[in-house]
Amino acid sequence: MIRNSIEVSEKAGVRYLHFSSNWVQGAMRIQRPNALELPYTREMMAGLLLREAPWPRDALLIGLGAGSLAKFIYHQLPAARITVVEIDPQVEIVARLHFGLPDDPRRLRVLIADGVEYMLAGESRHDCMLIDGFDGKGRAGALDTLPFYQACRARLSEHGLLAVNLLGRERGFQASAERIRQAFEGRTLVFPSSDSGNTIAFANGSERLDVSLGELVSRAEQCKLQTGLNLMPTVARLQEQGYLRHDRLSF
């Protein structure tokens, strides 16, 4: 198992998880422990704009970090079952002790395992896959390979979506995006970078996805009302940067 040098710090009401002194792996606002504090984590939940509620029913997360995404899904999407694959057992311990990761194995399972091996060896299918696994130097390693992305596609349900955090790729994210595109036969979309600089790629497992601007806005409003997550800035960036053709998002 990988052993990272894990540090926890606090500043201005926010608790941070570090794998090294300069590399933030997760954050939690102490007064809002179940909200998504980091902008890129909010963007990773943009699948809520792309599918009709209730979605997802089954979520798979590769990489636990501070548990922000797992906690958000657990608390705000109560119909969803969650499986988290985390390679470092220390990360789970810190997430439970310092970041309030729920202890409810019926809905939220944490498996200490290699994410690549888990994907290549298993058969379970998932509606939502969130890939956010890095080492202490910001490297994704085998989580950023064509065989891994092909395995992700094979493990998606009929209406499944994959979201990948592309920040930290040593040579930029274009090569990573191309591997995802190849694995999913072009049914991918790299969202415009968020304010944090992270870039999230989405991939559609089956039929081509086509959503109108009106549907995006309606789902964003519903999401904010039901979960507190505001995805309207994501909709605005998609529109402003020309991702919508004839007021439709398609990939």
Place of tokens 């398609």: 250
Candidate list 132, 144, 195, 247, residue with the active-site label:
132
Q: Is 195 exposed, middle or buried (0-12, 13-18, 19+ CB in 10 A)?
A: exposed
In sequence order, which residues have a C-beta less than 8 Å from that of residue 62 and are 6 or more positions away? 85, 115, 118, 119, 129, 130, 131, 132, 133, 143
C-alpha–C-alpha distance, residues 100 and 28, integer Å: 9
Number of helical (H) and strand (E) elements in the chain, helices listed first:
9, 12
* DSSP one-letter string for 51-85: SPSS--SEEEEE--TTSHHHHHHHHH-TT-EEEEE
**Could you confirm whether 132 is annotated as catalytic?**
yes
The SS3 call for residue 159 is: strand
Any residues with CB less than 8 A from the CB of 123 and at least 6 apart, and which? 155
Residues 6+ apart with CB under 8 A from 69: 36, 41, 44, 45, 61, 130, 132
Q: Would you name the residues annotated as active-site residues?
A: 132
